[in-house]
Structure 1
Amino acid sequence: MSQIKITQVKSIIDSPKNQKLTIQALGLGKISKSVLVESTPQIAGMLRKVHHLVEVKEL
């Protein structure tokens, strides 16, 4: 599978609880923090929920 780089670009302050928990589950939490993860259907669903808070790049 391919890897994707997820970078948080916006704050989670004033976001609903489910979006805050999704950001934490992705391994993020601070602006400009990045993680490399495998591209799976589960990750894709998480990204759909918080697409306005993160930036995604395929490697």
Structure 2
Amino acid sequence: MTTGLWLSLGAEKPERLMTWLEEAGFTERAVYRDQDDGGRSAAVRDPESNIWSLGTYEGG
């Protein structure tokens, strides 16, 4: 079964979140990259092999 969850957190420096996740045992799957909407996205895998997508969105 696949389950999805959308969680929105305010983060001025998303790289800090990536550092914290790596310290918690997550592994980077995709580095942060710029998106057409002005946001940035990345992906990580947790210790149980679940993949989490991360991103920023300026809104508008």
Q: What TM-score do you get using the length of structure 1 for normalisation?
A: 0.29
Q: Which has the higher strand share?
A: 2
Q: Which has the higher helix share?
A: 1
Find the structure with the greater CA-based Rg.
2
